[in-house]
Amino acid sequence: MRYRGVVIAALIAGLVVWLGSQEPVGAQAVLQKKSKKANKKEVAETVLHVKDPTPPAAPAQPLPTVVPAPTVKDPAALARLIDAEVDRRLAQAQIRPSPRSDDAEFLRRVYLDLTGVIPTADKARAFLESTDPNKREKLIDELLADPNHGRRMADIWTAKLFPFDSANRFVPKEPFHAWLAEQFNKNTPWNQLVTELITATGTADENPAVIYFLANRTIDRLTDTTTQHFLGVQLQCAQCHNHPFSSWKQIEYWGFAAFYSKVRADNPKNPKQVPDAPAPGVRELPSRSKQKDFFPEATKIVAPTFLGGPEAKVHPTEPYRPVLARWMTAPDNPFFARAMVNRLWAHLFARGLVMPVDDMLEENVPTHPELLDALARHMATVGGFDQKYLLKAICLSQAYQRTSRPLPENKQDETLYSHMRVKVMTPEQLYDSLAQVVGRAAASGAAGKAAKKAAGRLGGQNARAQFVNFFLAGAEQPSITSYEAGIPQALRLMNASLTNNPALVRSLVGSMATPPAVAIERLYLATLSRRPTATELNDLTAYVRMNGDPATAYSDILWALLNSSEFTMVR
Amino acid sequence: MLPGMMKWYSRRDFVRLSAAGVFAPTLSGWLPVLANAAPQGGKGKARACILLWMDGGPSHKDTFDPKPDSKGAGEFKPIATKVPGVYISEHLPKIAQTLDKGVIVRGMTTPEGAHPRAKYYMHTGYREGQGGIIHPSLGAIVSKEIGDPDSPMPNYVAINSRSYGAGFLGPRHQPLLITDPNRGVEDLKAAVSTQQLQRRLGLLERMERAFYREYDADIIRDHHTTYQRAFQLMSSRQAKAFDLSAEPPSSRSRYGSGRFADGVLMARRLVEVGVPFVEVTLGGWDTHQNNFERVKALSAQIDTPIAALITDLQERGLLDTTLVVWMGEFGRTPHINNRGPNPGRDHYPRAWSTVMWGGGIRAGGTVGKTDKEGATVIDRPVTAQDFLATICELLGIDHTRQNETPTGRPIRIVEKANPFTSLIT
């Protein structure tokens, strides 16, 4: 943000010819197309240069106090820094924080946050019974090393980097997801991972990272996703007009977009229609791409320019993308480390230190500016953009480990982390957690045909994708802060065989001669990862006694547990 | 209190629940939010819209804009309709008899010639991918603008295929998708007896109450609301509209048979119980090859059900308040291609046709006109925006109103439109 203000009025005046034009629609578009084509040649040769950028303007507000970050990689020290800053703000606001979560609450939360799935009943029981004072830290380490961690992070990032789009019908999603999962499991530093993505070349088979380009095949899409997801900046409105309520200008948009102007992405074609299509992949051309449909009608031709910064010193025949990657991931880049910190923070707390998470404008003031600065500086230097390290530090903090039960006096607080926020499971988390309950049942010897059938609905490569699509119901991204599943989704959970399967109960409870208290505890541990409270145990034992047939009673209890908001939420 | 809720509990339980504050926030917190966004009621007559979506792009020259004297005239003969001077394809004889209640829009002209982008364009009025947002489709707009937020029924139902969704208007306006009209709403029937279901709901309610008391989060209330609505739908009488077996055989046979006919019948049943938007899809119109044989077969699939729908709506006094729209994503080339022994026609967005019936339009005519070849619009060109804005006006929706995206960006329902409502009302 240090160079904001560098927008040059003269330049904009020079661009009026194009900036003023609006996209024609309907019949006019058809009529105008011809004359536009004739114009394009002239436009393409007029490259605008930013000359003599004015020096950066002095910041309007005094810089926030600098909070010293640890000088070495030390998750416990980083957690203390987080707590010091969070507690300082709470004290200032005179808000009393909620107490620490109990073991069961922490267990289910950290499992879902880090691996996307609830623990098995056995794992839950073992953790609850353990008296090891370091068991929380050990669990965090165990979960970050679990292959499910990479899958969870890949779920999150695939949804952002691989948009639902009719143009993506034939673009392979699974290899991209697998590539991301592998990177997250290997803990490839974030700067390196992003560099590999945005400079990717080759065929999709040899380098699945290029699928990022195949799934965002036009220059405006690439510009939007890159700035939004890696830099925390929303530029897309500036594509067509100067942003009315932020300071991004259209020229900045096209200056950034220019880094992608030499990309050629050959998409997979429908093999029925184009049997001899080139292998899908990405190349960097020596000059501006001539690819059909790559540039939208509204394209402006501007030299590659760093966002909020100077024009890039890059020779026209040199590849552009590595220059962009070097600038983006440099330790002193004003956006990159902050965006990474803000994302991971939001991933665990369901809100960023800046909101919206991907729109870190000056106007959107961080709740904890000093903390954000310190974390970003630390991660860009000694922290080495190490994501597992930052996740561990946050999970170790008291702020993360607080209960999500609010106190009367902190109930209204939504920004200072006085209590944890209850999140809604993503469709992937819900699927994997249901599969954990149902799938294990099917695997166990006690399972009958019906259990296998129910599990079959949750098995197979496509089943997960289908379930996720069904629960997304057309939304682009799952929302973890609001409950958005609709009637069809509720009907499926209520009435489909998935949750109505007598054999499932037998496999979870064991013999029907099991004492009700033990049986009920097994059902609770398998679904809610906790033991029932005394009241619940009393109530439900009475329910089982009242009901002649224990199997029916347990199936009712299991049905209610799987349909409860506690199951579908991360408390 | 929402109907059906009492069934879950004894009266004593309910009093206790209210005291515990479980229900109070549900009713006071949730309903008013929707009420703010509730129907504004405009001057349009129509209260519901049935969109008959012809997926693939029907050939206008072989359906509603025949050009017998043109170079690519094709094999079909024109026939007279109920409207003097207006001719359509010989394979739509029953529809020809309904055109005194409808209008053929022959001036359609649009810029998108690839299926997915054109479908998006005709459903939303916007170009796909522009500005990084997903625009709401017509059904979601209708759901939001004139749908009843308190109805146990969904306000947007899509039959056979969902096409496009609610976009930035969010999941409340997503269509309820019926993939097979004969199967109705999936999982609508409880897996257990009513008594057992009620016991289960009782258990669930106990859990919800305890969880809400401790965690006190809005999302727990929303979860509760959704389950209530799902349960309401399960027990609502209107949900019978999804069950085609409840239709008397005589009126069912009138619609003919097949997935499309079944979908059209279900659309009538849904409109009858107050659903404001139903989209029924028939695919197969992408006739690059073997155009004439295929269009003839497709015409046979639509002729009976559409004619039955118009007559049926009229007999039930619903035609004036129900707008029926027939459209695809574009037309097809005026010339016949030379792909193999059974040639066809290719994509053609420059000049094509749609049809409207009912909804208070002054019927019996055409809007717009193409040249002798059916290649260029020579009178009253109608853009996608003009067309969508006209539908909005007929439904009493102010199409110049702006909806906000989640990031607070205002987006007009339809942009830069010049509706032709005054020509047809």
Higher pLDDT, A448 or B167: B167
* Interface test with chain A among B198, B211, B402, by most A beta carbons within 10 Å: B211
Least confident segment among A100-109, B25-34, B255-264, B303-312: B25-34
User: What pairs with residue B52 in β-bridges?
Assistant: B280, B326
Q: How many CB atoms lie within 10 A of CB A153?
A: 23
Contacts of A393 (CB under 8 A, 6+ apart): A75, A76, A78, A79, A82
B40 by Cβ neighbours in 10 Å (0-12 / 13-18 / 19+) ranks as exposed
User: Which residue in A220, A487, A564 is closest to B233 by CB distance?
Assistant: A487
Q: pLDDT value at position B312?
A: 97
% of chain B with per-residue pLDDT over 70: 89
Asked if A474's CB is within 8 angstroms of B174's CB, the reply is yes
User: Which residue in A166, A424, A564 is closest to B116 by CB distance?
Assistant: A166
> Is the domain of B197 the same as that of B296?
no
* A535 vs B contacts (CB less than 8 Å): 210
Residue A486 DSSP SS3: coil
> Is the domain of B72 the same as that of B204?
no
Whole-model pTM: value is 0.75
Q: pLDDT value at position B162?
A: 65
- Nearest-neighbour CA in chain A from B74: distance (Å): 26
* B350 vs A contacts (CB less than 8 Å): 30
Q: What's the rounded Cα separation, in Å, for the pair B382 and B365?
A: 15
> Is the domain of B274 the same as that of B355?
yes
Asked if A165's CB is within 8 angstroms of B128's CB, the reply is yes
Q: What value does the mean pLDDT of chain A take?
A: 83
Higher pLDDT, A147 or A220: A147
* A489 vs B contacts (CB less than 8 Å): 226
Rounded average pLDDT over B74-99: 97
- Nearest-neighbour CA in chain A from B233: distance (Å): 8
- pLDDT tens by residue, B39-59: 444 567 899 999 999 999 999
% of chain A with per-residue pLDDT over 70: 80
Q: pLDDT value at position A481?
A: 80
Q: What's the rounded Cα separation, in Å, for the pair A43 and A39?
A: 6
Question: Are A203 and A268 a contacting pair, CB within 8 Å?
Answer: no
* A240 vs B contacts (CB less than 8 Å): 130-131
The residue of chain B nearest to residue A223, with distances taken between CA atoms, is: B132
The residue of chain B nearest to residue A219, with distances taken between CA atoms, is: B129
> Is the domain of B83 the same as that of B121?
yes
> Is the domain of B71 the same as that of B218?
no
Question: Is the pLDDT reported for residue B282 higher than 90?
Answer: yes
Between A and B, how many residue pairs show a Cβ–Cβ distance under 8 A? Answer: 183
Q: pLDDT value at position B37?
A: 38
Q: pLDDT value at position A59?
A: 44
Q: pLDDT value at position A532?
A: 97
The residue of chain A nearest to residue B121, with distances taken between CA atoms, is: A26
Least confident segment among A499-508, B61-70, B251-260, B294-303: A499-508
User: Which residue in A224, A490, A552 is closest to B226 by CB distance?
Assistant: A490
Place of tokens 């380490």: A141
Question: Which of A18-22, A432-436, A439-443, B335-339 has maximum average pLDDT?
Answer: A432-436
Rounded average pLDDT over B170-190: 85
* B409 vs A contacts (CB less than 8 Å): 237
* B124 vs A contacts (CB less than 8 Å): none
> Is the domain of B200 the same as that of B161?
no
Place of tokens 């993939």: B179
Question: Is the pLDDT reported for residue A447 higher than 80?
Answer: no
Question: Are B353 and B65 a contacting pair, CB within 8 Å?
Answer: yes
Rounded average pLDDT over B79-106: 97
Higher pLDDT, B303 or A458: B303
Question: Are B328 and B285 a contacting pair, CB within 8 Å?
Answer: yes
Structural domains of chain B, count: 2
Enclosing domain of residue B410: 37-184+250-424
Question: Is the pLDDT reported for residue B381 higher than 90?
Answer: yes
Q: What's the rounded Cα separation, in Å, for the pair A113 and A396?
A: 13
Asked if B200's CB is within 8 angstroms of A556's CB, the reply is yes
Report residue A114 as tokens.
């880090």
* B384 vs A contacts (CB less than 8 Å): 25-26
Domain boundary among B221, B242, B263: B242
- pLDDT tens by residue, A304-354: 999 888 889 888 889 999 999 999 999 999 999 999 999 999 999 999 999
The helices-and-strands tally (H runs, E runs) of chain A is 27, 5
The residue of chain A nearest to residue B109, with distances taken between CA atoms, is: A27
Question: What does residue B177 show for φ and ψ, rounded to 5 degrees?
Answer: -90, 125
Least confident segment among A189-203, B218-232, B255-269, B333-347: B218-232
User: What pairs with residue A302 in β-bridges?
Assistant: A48
The residue of chain A nearest to residue B197, with distances taken between CA atoms, is: A556
The residue of chain A nearest to residue B196, with distances taken between CA atoms, is: A556
Residue A413 DSSP SS3: coil
Least confident segment among A253-257, A333-337, B338-342: B338-342
> Is the domain of B326 the same as that of B419?
yes
> Is the domain of B4 the same as that of B75?
no
Question: Is the pLDDT reported for residue A126 higher than 50?
Answer: yes
- pLDDT tens by residue, A41-81: 333 333 334 333 444 444 445 455 678 889 999 999 999 99
The residue of chain A nearest to residue B173, with distances taken between CA atoms, is: A486
Question: Is the pLDDT reported for residue B316 higher than 70?
Answer: yes
Question: Is the pLDDT reported for residue A20 higher than 50?
Answer: no
Domain boundary among B204, B224, B242: B242
User: Which residue in B175, B219, B415 is closest to A482 by CB distance?
Assistant: B219
In single-letter form, the type of residue at position A506 comes to: R
Rounded average pLDDT over B345-370: 94
How crowded is the C-beta side of B289, counted as CA atoms within 13 Å?
4
Where does the pLDDT of residue B13 fall: very low under 50, low under 70, confident under 90, or very high at 90 and above? very low
User: Which residue in A234, A491, A536 is closest to B230 by CB distance?
Assistant: A491
Least confident segment among A96-105, B154-163, B376-385: B154-163
Q: What's the rounded Cα separation, in Å, for the pair A483 and A425?
A: 9
> Is the domain of B236 the same as that of B104?
no
Q: pLDDT value at position A335?
A: 94
Asked if A482's CB is within 8 angstroms of B186's CB, the reply is no
* A359 vs B contacts (CB less than 8 Å): 407
- Nearest-neighbour CA in chain A from B183: distance (Å): 14
Q: What's the rounded Cα separation, in Å, for the pair A395 and A378?
A: 17
- Nearest-neighbour CA in chain A from B135: distance (Å): 11
Question: Are B398 and B392 a contacting pair, CB within 8 Å?
Answer: yes
Question: Is the pLDDT reported for residue B267 higher than 90?
Answer: yes
Least confident segment among A172-176, A445-449, A520-524, B235-239: A445-449
% of chain A with per-residue pLDDT over 90: 58
Domain boundary among B217, B242, B267: B242
> Is the domain of B123 the same as that of B229?
no
- Nearest-neighbour CA in chain B from A290: distance (Å): 20
- Nearest-neighbour CA in chain B from A133: distance (Å): 27
* B13 vs A contacts (CB less than 8 Å): none
Question: Is the pLDDT reported for residue A474 higher than 90?
Answer: no
Q: pLDDT value at position B218?
A: 80
Q: Which of A201, A209, A144 is nearest to A175 (CA)?
A: A209
The residue of chain A nearest to residue B234, with distances taken between CA atoms, is: A491
Asked if B128's CB is within 8 angstroms of A494's CB, the reply is no
Question: Is the pLDDT reported for residue B333 higher than 80?
Answer: yes
User: Which residue in B166, B208, B384 is closest to A474 by CB distance?
Assistant: B166
Higher pLDDT, B367 or A163: B367
For every residue of A428-467, DSSP letters joined together read HHHHHHHHHHHHHHHHSTT--HHHHHHHHHT-SHHHHHHH
User: Which residue in B134, B175, B192 is closest to A476 by CB distance?
Assistant: B134
Asked if B109's CB is within 8 angstroms of A26's CB, the reply is yes
Q: What value does the mean pLDDT of chain B take?
A: 87
Contacts of B131 (CB under 8 A, 6+ apart): A236, A237, A239, A240, B409
Kindly report the three-state secondary structure assignment for every residue of chain B: CCCCCHHHCCHHHHHHHHHHCCHHHHHHHHHHHHHHCCCCCCCCCCCEEEEEEECCCCCCCCCCCCCCCCCCCCCCCEEECCCCCCEEECCCHHHHCCHHHEEEEEEECCCCCCHHHHHHHHHHCCCCCHHHCCCCCHHHHHHHHHCCCCCCCCCEEEECCCCCCCHHHCHHHCCEEECCCCCCCCCCCCCCCHHHHHHHHHHHHHHHHHHHHHHCCHHHHHHHHHHHHHHHHHHCCHHHHHCHHHCCHHHHHHCCCCHHHHHHHHHHHHHHCCCCEEEEEECCCCCCECHHHHHHHHHHHHHHHHHHHHHHHHHCCCHHHEEEEEEECCEECCCCCCCCCCECCCEECCCEEEEEEECCCCCCEEECEECCCCCCEEECCECHHHHHHHHHHHCCCCCCCEEECCCCCEEECCCCCCCCHHHHC
Place of tokens 């903390």: A371
Q: pLDDT value at position B332?
A: 97
> Is the domain of B228 the same as that of B309?
no
Contacts of B85 (CB under 8 A, 6+ apart): none
Q: What's the rounded Cα separation, in Å, for the pair A547 and A555?
A: 11
> Is the domain of B267 the same as that of B365?
yes
Higher pLDDT, A30 or B338: B338
Q: pLDDT value at position A25?
A: 36
Question: Is the pLDDT reported for residue B36 higher than 90?
Answer: no
